[in-house]
Structure 1
């Protein structure tokens, strides 16, 4: 019996919005099981830290039907959960800052054999905010 295929998606997932849902649906389409790694607040250095706690962000992601498994990332080494999950594919968000080739190189060095793909962008809807930062800005504009 063959094992089911596994995809990994990862991100901060602070204040869930339709862009997150699209990313996770796209990632899920690459495999039978979708594993999501939610970045620890302490590891988010490329943008403002998350508003919501680690626990709350994992809980919200886990509640989405498209997600089969959700967990918080490792405190020091982002590849530890990847080694534990042993995915067939890692799906990066279409606008995530990650260097796909750098990830492929790191995976090879660790002896991990999986593809790295980039998710498609969500169709643009003028009335939607597809960024947590933009959502926070709008809240401050309208209610701050």
Structure 2
């Protein structure tokens, strides 16, 4: 049984997230998803949707076998419980695959790291595009 792990913030769930998670699930038999903790997000603005609600939404997706909140101390901590065979990164995630693979090996994990380079081609495939569309529609005349 091949266990796949995908991670992300998953703020404002959109078709791009579904595409990413479906692509990750296709790589194995089980899909585990780590939802980033608010306190650990440093590379972009804090999410609009609270972490417990983001976890509930991801957990409800049919493609996801199990979703968990990430650690507030060490991104590797949940991997001891999950024991993934494959860790999948999205096209827009900033991890360097070689560096991540090296760190995993140093911590005793044998998981292979791969990236889904494709992204969904539709107008609202990202949280940022959704926010911009909302601002355009509802705030344009208020400036």
Normalised TM-score (structure 2) = 0.93
Residue in structure 2 matched with residue 10 of structure 1 by the alignment? 7
Structure 2 unaligned runs (5+)?
none
What's the Cα RMSD here? 1.0
Distance 1:32 1:79 in 2: 22
Distance 2:29 2:116 in 1: 16
Instruction: Tell me by how many angstroms 1:123 deviates.
Output: 4.2
Q: Would you say how many aligned residue pairs link Structure 1 and Structure 2?
A: 139
Displaced runs of 4 or more, over 3 A: none
Residue in structure 2 matched with residue 55 of structure 1 by the alignment? 52
Residue in structure 1 matched with residue 136 of structure 2 by the alignment? 141
Correspondence 1:106 to 2:103:
yes
**Tell me, what secondary structure is at the counterpart of 2:78?**
helix
Residue in structure 2 matched with residue 23 of structure 1 by the alignment? 20
Residue in structure 1 matched with residue 43 of structure 2 by the alignment? 46
Normalised TM-score (structure 1) = 0.93
- 2:69 aligns with one of 68, 72, 79: 72
Distance 1:131 1:48 in 2: 14
**Tell me, what secondary structure is at the counterpart of 1:97?**
coil
Instruction: Tell me by how many angstroms 1:19 deviates.
Output: 0.6
Instruction: Tell me by how many angstroms 1:94 deviates.
Output: 1.5
Instruction: Tell me by how many angstroms 1:122 deviates.
Output: 2.8
Instruction: Tell me by how many angstroms 1:76 deviates.
Output: 0.8
Instruction: Tell me by how many angstroms 1:66 deviates.
Output: 0.2
